[in-house]
Structure 1
Amino acid sequence: MTQAGRARQAERNNEAILTAAREVFLADKRAPISAVAERAGVGISALYRRYAGKEDLLRTLCHDGLQWFIAEAERAAAEPDDWAAFEMFVRGVVDADVHSLTVHLAGTFPPSPAMDADAARANELATALFERARPRMRAGAVPADITMLLEMCAAVRVPDAARTKELRRRYVTMLLDGLRAGGELPGLPPTVEELGWRWSRRD
């Protein structure tokens, strides 16, 4: 096999590993890394050539999700209508299923400095989109509410992937409509501690 062929094979193996890891760890975050290799159809040595261990693989999965989040926010930021931009962002993140794995795996590995930097960038972009849309929202809404809204949608899951996406789109529409200007929201918004408690524990 040529060097280019080996590179393509390695890339295919990596995609298979990441796809398998998402499926395995979403079902059971305590699953052994060998279960990922088996699901991906690669030898355990091929997996370890790419990832130093389970924590490294988990970190990669969550960082990939974070980068998807940033890409959706940057795409939405180009939309000139403020509410349309915000709605495009929320719907894009829900469709990309960014939060399911991230929330599920929070606290199972220490984030890297690169993840921390991207998390700050993601927060900056999401907050900017929120602030653009704020004049058309209910009184009392804050950016932290959007984190919870995304988590609610991520919690919707049935065995059929297409049906899961359909249901999530149904409920994100309800949630977005409920966020539009109207009466003041009840209760206090989530605190920083409430949003980040998962990342401070180690499972």
Structure 2
Amino acid sequence: MSGRKAQAARNDELILQAARAVFTADPGAPIAAVAERAGVGISALYRRYPSKEALLQKLCGDGLKLYIEVTERALADDGDPWEAFAGYLRGIVDADTNSLTIKLAGTFQPTEELYHDAARSAVVATEVHRRAVEAGVLRPDVTVSDIALLFEQIASIKLGGEERASELRHRFLALAMDGLRVPPAHRGLPGPPTTDEELSARWSPSA
């Protein structure tokens, strides 16, 4: 890339990171808050995204594409069936695409591309689920919708900074996975448990 194109790419990445942080905290925030957090001028933001709606469409489109990528990677895994499914679960938790679903669903008009990608994500999620059930490693009474809501519940864990939140999310995913697996697994949980201080800190005005 030329220097100008490289700078534009860096600005775009800053804008998208800022938009994700701003809108998952407050979907009603103005687009100016994104420019301020990204450290770019509002005119630079508008040159790339002419409206808040366009920015939300881009965020959710990228999230869907990442979801599809993680799921297709699990489908391509011909190894142990449970480990392939577990890799899918961990990958989606790491991708944190469900934070966008929780906060942004219904706040903008989806594009045709978004509808297409959403349909594709449903197909691959159903397939990875079907394979795990047919392999006898996932409880047959667990549905695709159950897994989708599990992802949303885990994404709602936001204690501490990003690293601590990720640690806790994987801890609770491990708990859930023991209930999903056939036969039940009993393994140690990753990461230390939530402390009373972490829970009570949410009530502090400075939290």
TM bucket by the smaller chain?
0.7 to 0.9
| 1:41 to 2:68 alignment | no
What amino acid maps onto 1:47 in structure 2? L
Aligned partner letter, 1:144: S
Aligned residue for 1:145? Answer: 146
Higher helix fraction: Structure 1 or Structure 2?
1
1:99-178 equivalences under 5 Å are 99-134=98-133, 135-178=136-179
1:182 Cα deviation from its structure 2 partner: 6.4
Aligned to 2:19: 21
Distance across 2 between alignment mates of 1:71 and 1:122: 9
5 Å-filtered alignment, 1:45-64, equals 45-64=43-62
Q: How does 1:75-86 map to 2 (within 5 A)?
A: 75-80=73-78, 81-86=80-85
Distance 2:144 2:26 in 1: 30
Cα contact 2:81–2:137 (8 A) shared by 1: no
1:66 to 64, 67, 74: 64
Paired positions, count: 181
Following superposition, the deviation at residue 141 of structure 1 comes to 1.4
The ranges of structure 1 where at least 4 consecutive aligned residues each deviate by more than 6 angstroms after the TM superposition are none
TM-score (norm 1): 0.85
Given that residues 70 and 125 in structure 1 are in contact (C-alpha distance below 8 angstroms), is that contact kept between their aligned partners in structure 2? yes
Deviation string 1:82-118 (CA, Å, 9 cap, x unpaired) is 2221111111000111111222110000111111111
Structure 1 portions without partners, runs of 5+: 184-203
| One-letter amino acid matched to 1:42 | V
Relative contact order (C-alpha < 8 Å, sep 6+): which is higher? Answer: 1
User: What's the Cα RMSD here?
Assistant: 1.5
Percentage of matched positions with identical amino acids:
51
- Give the Cα separation in 1 of the matches to 2:52 and 2:142: 38
| TM-score normalized by the length of structure 2 | 0.84
Partners in 2 of 1:28 and 1:158 — Cα distance? 17
Q: Deviations over 1:61-98 (max 9, x none)?
A: 11111111011011111211222211111110001111
Where does structure 2 lack aligned partners over 5 or more consecutive residues? 185-207
Contact 1:76 1:89 in 2 (8 A): yes
Q: Which amino acid aligns with 2:54?
A: D
